[in-house]
Amino acid sequence: MDLTKLTRQSHRRDRPGLPLLGRFRLTGARAHELCGGARRRLALWLAAEAQGPVLWIRPAWHPDRLHMAGVRAEIDPGRLIFVEPERAEDLLWAMEEALRAGVVPLVVCDLPEPPGLTPVRRLHLAAEAGAEAQGTAPLALLLTPGEGGAAGVESRWRLEPAHGAEAAGWRLSRLRARDGGPGDWAVARGPDGRPAPAAADMAEPA
């Protein structure tokens, strides 16, 4: 794979993206990073916006697993296809191959640590190849612990729980994005049960 082909010209601003909370948009055929204590819930919110099956890659040796009752509050668990590699080096390999095939709109990879620049560039290229092959724009979500820090990602988002005595709540932070500056938003469930930025935060830049 020729990494030199990844240029600003290859990054098409008009390609389809994935909406987030009815206000933001994650560019398709690119790799994005989600971090923070509630990063898996954030991934499920994005999965709810995608069409079709979602490939969820996680290390077989890690004790953390999705709780299906919690998943059901966000999406139909039957949409999730789990892949559990035994070796660390196979996590991103599996993600790259899935993106290159272009048949799954969203590929999630739960990682024990942030990847370096070269693996992320390979994911961008694989997603672009999948987009060209299938006419879609497969999107990659890298779930990383703590504050994240994957090099070369299209955007980095952090979600932390901020529950109150009466209702569940979260704090969403945009730490990095090529098409937007940093931001911080309170998130709560609306009357329909769907998460959305709180009204008090709607005046902040998107």
pLDDT digits (tens, 9 = 90+) for 172-184: 999 999 988 999 9
Alpha carbons 5 and 23: distance in angstroms, whole number = 32
Q: Residue 47 pLDDT > 70, yes or no?
A: yes
- Say if 205 falls within a structural domain: no
- Say if 58 falls within a structural domain: yes
- Say if 144 falls within a structural domain: yes
Amino acid at the residue 132: E
> What percentage of the chain has pLDDT greater than the value 90?
75
Q: What is the pTM of this model?
A: 0.89
Domain that holds residue 88: 18-157
Please count the structural domains in the chain: 1
Residues 6 or more apart from 179 whose CB is under 8 A from it? 13, 27, 155
Q: Residue 89 pLDDT > 90, yes or no?
A: yes
CATH number at residue 139: 3.40.50.300
Nearest Cα neighbor of 141 from 53, 60, 28, 1 is: 28
- Say if 35 falls within a structural domain: yes
- Say if 91 falls within a structural domain: yes
- Say if 5 falls within a structural domain: no
Nearest Cα neighbor of 124 from 8, 37, 18 is: 8
- Say if 165 falls within a structural domain: no
- Say if 132 falls within a structural domain: yes
Q: Residue 133 pLDDT > 60, yes or no?
A: yes
